[in-house]
Amino acid sequence: MKYAKNTETFLSRGPWAQMIGALAICPDGKVRKVRNIGPDMDFYSRSGAVKVSGKTVSGLISFARDNSLPSSVCEWIEFTATGKHSNIFGKVD
């Protein structure tokens, strides 16, 4: 399923489709492929990992929203580094 800002989710086939991958915006502003999508962490996020400079960075993916835009274009997917190698992005506000 495609979202704004060139982000996308990839679902498994079958009647109980599961999210198996995603393209998400990382803290440095680049869109990267998120792998190893885990179970829901809570209602709003899921665990996952991206590759940056040959290192696997673990974190969470979630849907972000800009309420100033129409609802059809306001959602995209963001990756937040929270675990191993999370400092690879440096200090990002």
93 pLDDT band (50/70/90 cuts)?
A: very low
Q: What is the mean pLDDT of the chain?
A: 84
Boundaries of every domain in the chain? 8-85
- Residue 29 DSSP class: S
- Comparing 84 with 52, the larger pLDDT belongs to 52
**Positions of E strands within 1-93:** 8-11, 19-25, 31-34, 45-52, 55-65, 75-81
pLDDT band for position 49 (cuts 50, 70, 90): very high
Minimal CA–CA distance to 19: which of 5, 41, 27, 30?
41
Three-state DSSP at 73 gives coil
What local confidence, expressed as pLDDT, does residue 72 receive? 58
Position 62 pLDDT exceeds 80 = yes
Residue range 67-72: average pLDDT?
Answer: 66
Its pTM stands at: 0.79
